[in-house]
Amino acid sequence: MSFQQTAFYQSQADEARARSEAASLQNVKDSQLRAAEAWEALAARSRKSDALRVAENSRKAEQGLTAG
């Protein structure tokens, strides 16, 4: 995963929330809110992975290790 992936997930969550707000049917609103929550969970997991990757790369750089 990458920072672009995180941005994509967050963008999808934002779009689902907007569709929920625009929907007139309650079941559509609920469905879009569930979708937004799922996308937000993916974004949160991706942010955590990004942070761990940055920390690991920093640790390797400090130790003089290279990626690969």
- Report if residue 42 sits inside a domain: yes
CA trace torsion 25, 21, 28, 47 (10° rounding): -170
Contacts of 20 (CB under 8 A, 6+ apart): 28, 29, 30, 31, 32, 33, 36
Q: How confident is the model at residue 3, as a pLDDT?
A: 80
- Report if residue 30 sits inside a domain: yes
Q: What's the domain count of the chain?
A: 1
- Report if residue 68 sits inside a domain: no
- Report if residue 19 sits inside a domain: yes
Instruction: Tell me the pLDDT band of 66, cut-offs 50, 70 and 90.
Output: low
- Report if residue 9 sits inside a domain: yes
Kindly report the pTM of this predicted structure. 0.79
- Report if residue 35 sits inside a domain: yes
Q: How confident is the model at residue 27, as a pLDDT?
A: 98
* pLDDT tens figures, 2-54: 789 999 999 999 999 999 999 999 999 999 999 999 999 999 999 999 999 99
